[in-house]
Amino acid sequence: MLNRFFAIASRGSSVRREVLGGVTTFVTMAYIIVVNPAILSAAGIPVGPGTVATILSAAFGSILMGLYANRPIAVAPYMGENAFIAFGLMALGATWEQRLGSVFVAGLIFLLLTALQVRSKLAHAISPSLKHSFAAGIGLFLALIGLYETGIVTSGAAGLPASALAVPGQTLLRAPDVPLKIGAFHDPQVLLAVGGFVAIAGLMMRKVNGAILIGMAAAAAAGSAMGFTPAPDSLVALPFTGEYTLAPIALHLDVAGVLRLSFLPVLLTLVLMSFLDTLGTLVGVGAAGGMLDEDGNFPQVEKPMLVDALACVFASLVGSSTSGAYIESAAGIREGARTGLAAVVTGLLFLASLFLLPLAGPLQQSGYAYGPALVAVGMLMLGSVRKIDFDDLTEALPAFACIALMVFTYNIANGLTAGLVLYPAAKIAAGRARELSRGSVALALLCLTYFVFGLPH
């Protein structure tokens, strides 16, 4: 029955390979159960319900991908988008309900674009260099969050008396002369974070599946032994009860609050980030599994993109951030997975993890445990910078501005919109306006509203 439904034999696989591939993918991406709720807690979403929402989003998306698209690609809340929701929208003063509302509306927009098959036009409107700069910039942004959360890097104002930053004659404080500085390396928790990252990197070098999860667990265990983090009260718990109930966040999204001009750049950013992440992931895992056609395109790409769009909408309803296809699916594909059965297995394992929620608690309370995971993911994403055409200044300038402003303004939207605005400006300044498409100009004008209207960012 499984063979007929998933066409396993015709794709040169077996049920055993699919199950093994699904398990492998789950192990490599299970860190999201810990990291996503920890990040979203900065937006005001409680960790317990946020953990359940994260797991449900991953299970829903992965199982739907397997049953509908029949691809061995797991789905879960995206790294990068969660940081944008938690940290990038702080300057707007958005409530967490509005942030979930923006995820919902962006998911509907992405769903509409997918149904209308506008994805190809949108893909061609953004230059390859800009696409890769988005990934590189988000990677550095995640790394900075991880370094800051662990204390490896800290504020330049840390340890200074308030009088040192006081503006004479005023009640305001000035910015420190040095915005960031190295952290307190005599702090045992900082050293634990460094050790955790070294462990993760070492396991990655040896191509150990689940390197990030193993490294986080090792750091947490060491921290618990040193008395920094309490051991879990139990190994198992019933989901949807007590501190793990979804009641505080499910269906609490504020849609009306985001349907205004000031949220237009936010919605545009979420749509573009989700679109580009999905497109890049599908091409990447498709190449790893021999799923691309002779032109390098992903066959029937609308199906997995439709799944991603529905996963985004579902995630916002249960209380999590934007979901989409995960590049870690390549680990399962390397084990031989070729059909949607692998994705279904991954989704079912996520559902099973709902009963092991107490194990995630200590990890989520320990920046020295989950922070190194952010740095490791950022390191991997930074590799995209190699594909930016730095020999062409009309490509390099927007890409550089995108990366720099994402990191140095601590806001993904700033960099993404600046890059899209500067791209046509650079082409026109160089006398190469004919290289522009109508889509790139339209995107630039939309992004320009982010700056022209003086929106807080």
Predicted confidence at residue 396, as pLDDT, reads 95
pLDDT surpasses 80 at 272: no
Predicted confidence at residue 234, as pLDDT, reads 74
Predicted confidence (pLDDT) per residue in 363-383, tens digit: 767 788 878 888 888 888 788
Chain position carrying tokens 């989704």? 347
- Per mean pLDDT, which range of 70-74, 124-128, 371-375 is the poorest? 124-128
Write the CA distances from 402 to 108, 398, 417, integer angstroms: 26, 6, 8
pLDDT surpasses 70 at 177: yes
pLDDT surpasses 70 at 283: no
Residue predicted with more confidence, 114 or 67: 67
The answer to pTM > 0.85 is no
Residue predicted with more confidence, 218 or 160: 218
Write the CA distances from 57 to 6, 152, 202, 319, integer angstroms: 23, 32, 30, 9
Phi then psi for 65, rounded to 5 degrees?
-60, -40
Q: Taking residues 406-413, what's their average pLDDT?
A: 80
Judge contact between 18 and 8, C-beta under 8 A: yes
Chain position carrying tokens 């104002």? 157
Q: Taking residues 132-160, what's their average pLDDT?
A: 85
List of residues 6+ apart from 431 with CB closer than 8 A = none
List of residues 6+ apart from 360 with CB closer than 8 A = 33, 34, 37, 51
Q: Taking residues 341-348, what's their average pLDDT?
A: 94
Predicted confidence (pLDDT) per residue in 94-113, tens digit: 888 988 998 999 889 888 88
pLDDT surpasses 70 at 67: yes
Predicted confidence at residue 61, as pLDDT, reads 95
Chain position carrying tokens 């019933």? 238
pLDDT band at residue 119 using 50, 70 and 90 as cut-offs: low
pLDDT surpasses 70 at 457: no
Predicted confidence (pLDDT) per residue in 215-270, tens digit: 888 888 899 889 887 777 777 778 888 888 999 998 998 888 888 777 777 787 77
pLDDT surpasses 90 at 68: yes
Q: Taking residues 207-214, what's their average pLDDT?
A: 82
Predicted confidence (pLDDT) per residue in 439-450, tens digit: 889 888 877 876
* pLDDT > 90 in the chain, percent: 24
Q: Taking residues 347-373, what's their average pLDDT?
A: 84
- Per mean pLDDT, which range of 311-325, 332-346, 358-372, 401-415 is the poorest? 358-372
As a whole number, the mean pLDDT across the chain is: 84
Count of Cβ atoms closer than 10 Å to residue 205 Cβ: 9
The CA distance from 33 to 443, in Å, is 34
pLDDT surpasses 70 at 179: yes
Q: Which is nearest to 101 in space by CA: 45, 139, 41?
A: 45
Predicted confidence at residue 190, as pLDDT, reads 93
Identity at 452, one-letter amino acid code: V
Predicted confidence at residue 120, as pLDDT, reads 58
SS (H, E, C) the chain: CHHHHHCCHHHCCCHHHHHHHHHHHHHHHCCHHHHHHHHHHHHCCCHHHHHHHHHHHHHHHHHHHHHHHCCCCCEEECCCHHHHHHHHCCCCCCCHHHHHHHHHHHHHHHHHHHHCCCHHHHHHHCCHHHHHHHHHHHHHHHHHHHHHHHCCEEECCCCCCHHHHECCCCCCECCCCCCEEECCCCCHHHHHHHHHHHHHHHHHHCCCCCHHHHHHHHHHHHHHHCCCCCCCCCCCCCCCCHHHCCCCCCCCCCCHHHCCHHHHHHHHHHHHHHHHHHHHHHHHHHHHCCCCCCCCCCCCCHHHHHHHHHHHHHHHHHCCCCEEECCCHHHHHHCCCCCHHHHHHHHHHHHHHHHHHHHHHHHHCCHHHHHHHHHHHHHHHHHHHHHCCCCCHHHHHHHHHHHHHHHHCCCHHHHHHHHHHHHHHHHHHCCCHHHCCHHHHHHHHHHHHHHHCCCCC
Q: Taking residues 187-198, what's their average pLDDT?
A: 93
Predicted confidence at residue 317, as pLDDT, reads 95
Predicted confidence at residue 403, as pLDDT, reads 92
Write the CA distances from 62 to 22, 200, 206, integer angstroms: 10, 25, 27
Predicted confidence at residue 197, as pLDDT, reads 94
pLDDT band at residue 456 using 50, 70 and 90 as cut-offs: very low
pLDDT surpasses 80 at 306: yes
Determine the straight-line distance between the first and last CA of the chain, rounded to whole angstroms: 54
pLDDT band at residue 453 using 50, 70 and 90 as cut-offs: low
